[in-house]
Structure formats: structure tokens, C-alpha cells
């Protein structure tokens, strides 16, 4: 079995733990490779994430490290997250339980698919998001005028500080903090959450991913689009963003833990 190891590189303890996992896997007869950044922090050779191939990817870090890893891997690989951050909704294992589970991977494992969203500006692809895409004004304390069109029909028009376009996976991230619902990750849908809307009637929407969704920016203020907090694009003052379900879902190693059990456990730590 071939395992790719990725660690957050700003935490020496995380790197030390990653080294222990590497030694354990090699002792068990696995081929282990490191991504280039992790390897450089350990003084060894690594591979770029874009070109990596492996049976599974073990990521030691918080949600940011996992999102960055998923963004950079061109061909989706099963990801197993070990939480070395804050809440870590994308990381299914805590450090103390990780070694025992990782040793079971050689015997086979099941994979869970998580929907991602693909974003296009006037037909030009911008990128994909596992958690969310966020539209916000580039000028603090200014509002944007946004129109939501579903299957070509205007469904909502509002003014707000911005808009979150979230996946069900991202519903427990920024969208939850902004007042959105927690959505079962098995649901295939787009979650729209206005950020501080001017009218109280502007509420979150959950829209089937089978529908054609457009977000039209019609404002005198320029805006940016941030994808999973990793990529930022300038939208200007008038843009149309088309949102589609990505043809390439993110893959996660199934640790056989109920999603709602995890939500209950994670939220009690906040």
C-alpha cells in the first residue's frame, strides 16, 4: 500500500507526529511519500501534491490543511484527516486514536464521497470548493446587491455584506456561523447564506444541485470571490457566477462514524 503524508508545517509537534506515523507505516511494509512542503520541513525529498498518486492521503492538521490538500490534488484521492488544529470538522480522527485506525488501512477501507461545487464566471472556470465560495465587497462597511436565479428564474434579490455558496460539507463551517442550517453531507445541494442581509426576509436557501444556479452581482461596489479560503478572484462591480456540482467529488476515508455523532461531539468543544 502506498500512503501520502501531509502535515501542517507551522507546528513542530504536528511534524513530529507525522514522522511517527511515517515510521509506523514503513514498519508495517507500506510505501510512504511526503508532499513537497512537508518533506522540506523535515529535511527530505517530497513530491508535488498536483502529481501525487497514492492509495490514501493522511493529513495531519486542521481544516485549512485538509482544504488546501484537496485543492491541490488534481486526481481525487481518499483523504484521512488527523485533527491538529481547532474544531477540525473535516478531520475524523484525534491524534490519540489515529495510529490504531491507520494500522487497519492495509486490510482495506471504504470511501465516502463529498460533493464539491464548481464555479464559473461568464463561462470561464474559476475553481472548485469543498466547503464554500464567499462573495464579499472589497471595501469594508459597504453592501452588495445580489440576485439569485434558479433555472433562469429570479428567486431572490437582496442587499448584504456578501453571500456564502456552501456545500453540505461546508454547512458546519462559515455557513453555520453565519446562521445557516447544518446539512447532512449526503444531500446533493447548494446552500446559500446571505451575510448580514439588510432585510430580515433574506434567509438561507438550500437548492438542489440538479438545478441551474446563477449568482448575479449588480452593485456599484467591487467584490471578490474566495474559494475555500485558498483562492481569491476579483469580480469587479458586475458579474455572473454560475454554480454547478463538480464532476469530481472529494473522497474521504470512512472511519465508520456517524456524521451527527461527530457534529454533537465537535460542537460541544466550542
Q: Which of 216, 210, 261, 263 is nearest to 236 (CA)?
A: 216
35 is catalytic: no
Q: Which of 236, 63, 250, 150 is nearest to 165 (CA)?
A: 150
Catalytic one among 63, 92, 161, 228? 63
Task: Please tell me the total number of residues recorded for the chain in this structure.
Answer: 270
Backbone angles phi, psi at 51, to 5 degrees: -105, 0
Residues 121, 133: contact at Cβ < 8 Å?
no
Distance CA 19, CA 256 (A): 26
> What are the residues whose beta carbons fall under 8 Å from the beta carbon of 129, sequence distance 6 or more?
116, 117, 119, 165, 167, 170, 227, 228
Residues labelled as active-site residues: 63
Amino acid at each position: 500500500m502506498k500512503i501520502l503524508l501531509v502535515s501542517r508545517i507551522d507546528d513542530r509537534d504536528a511534524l513530529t507526529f507525522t514522522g511517527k506515523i511515517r515510521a509506523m507505516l514503513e514498519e508495517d511494509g507500506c510505501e510512504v511519500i511526503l508532499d513537497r512542503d512537508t518533506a522540506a520541513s523535515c529535511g527530505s525529498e517530497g513530491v508535488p501534491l498536483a502529481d501525487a498518486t497514492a492509495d490514501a492521503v493522511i493529513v495531519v492538521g486542521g481544516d485549512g490543511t485538509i482544504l488546501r490538500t484537496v485543492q491541490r490534488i488534481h486526481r481525487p484521492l481518499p483523504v484521512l484527516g488527523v485533527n491538529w488544529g481547532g474544531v477540525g470538522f473535516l478531520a475524523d480522527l484525534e491524534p490519540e486514536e489515529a495510529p490504531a485506525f491507520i494500522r487497519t488501512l492495509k486490510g482495506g477501507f471504504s470511501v465516502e464521497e463529498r460533493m464539491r461545487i464548481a464555479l464559473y464566471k461568464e463561462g470561464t472556470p474559476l475553481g472548485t470548493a469543498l466547503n464554500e465560495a464567499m462573495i464579499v465587497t472589497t471595501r469594508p462597511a459597504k453592501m452588495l446587491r445580489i440576485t439569485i436565479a434558479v433555472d433562469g428564474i429570479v428567486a431572490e434579490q437582496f442587499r448584504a455584506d456578501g453571500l456564502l455558496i456552501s456545500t453540505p460539507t461546508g454547512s458546519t463551517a462559515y455557513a453555520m456561523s453565519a446562521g445557516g442550517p447544518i446539512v447532512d453531507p449526503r444531500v446533493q445541494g447548494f446552500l446559500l447564506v446571505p451575510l448580514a442581509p439588510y432585510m430580515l426576509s433574506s434567509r438561507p436557501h438550500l437548492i438542489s444541485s440538479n438545478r441551474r444556479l446563477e449568482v448575479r452581482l449588480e452593485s456599484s461596489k467591487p467584490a471578490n470571490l474566495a474559494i475555500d479560503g485558498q483562492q481569491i478572484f476579483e469580480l469587479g462591480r458586475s458579474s455572473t457566477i454560475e454554480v454547478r456540482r463538480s464532476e469530481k467529488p472529494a473522497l474521504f476515508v470512512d472511519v465508520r462514524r456517524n456524521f451527527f455523532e461527530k457534529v454533537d461531539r465537535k460542537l460541544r468543544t466550542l
